[in-house]
Amino acid sequence: MRNAASKAALVAYLRSVDRELAPKGVRTVVVYPMGTLDTAANREQLPRVDPANWISTTTLAEVVTSAVTMGPRGRLQEVRVYPDAN
């Protein structure tokens, strides 16, 4: 429960920052990985789990790059990244 509350607080904070700094051209985006990230630490801690359906860090980086490089006529505020459903 504490984990969910801290994430909700972070999202609220980022939305507040977005509103406050938007006139200066600063924007925020909240990225929600909707699954396990395929990292070395996760592979080490979950050795019996098949990582085939985990979200690659490359995919997550591509999403973030896309969000922060959008032109001035559009933007993303929230992005949910799901693992590929094979």
* Each residue's pLDDT tens digit, 47-85: 999 999 999 999 999 999 998 888 877 778 899 999 986
Q: Is 16 helix (H, G, I), strand (E, B) or coil?
A: helix
1 band by pLDDT with thresholds 50, 70 and 90: low
Q: Tell me, what DSSP letter sits at residue 51?
A: G
- The string of pLDDT tens digits covering residues 6-35 is 989 999 999 999 999 988 988 899 999 999
Query: What distance in Å separates the CA atoms of residue 75 and residue 86, rounded to the nearest whole number?
Result: 29
pLDDT at 79: 92
pLDDT reading at 86 higher than 70:
no
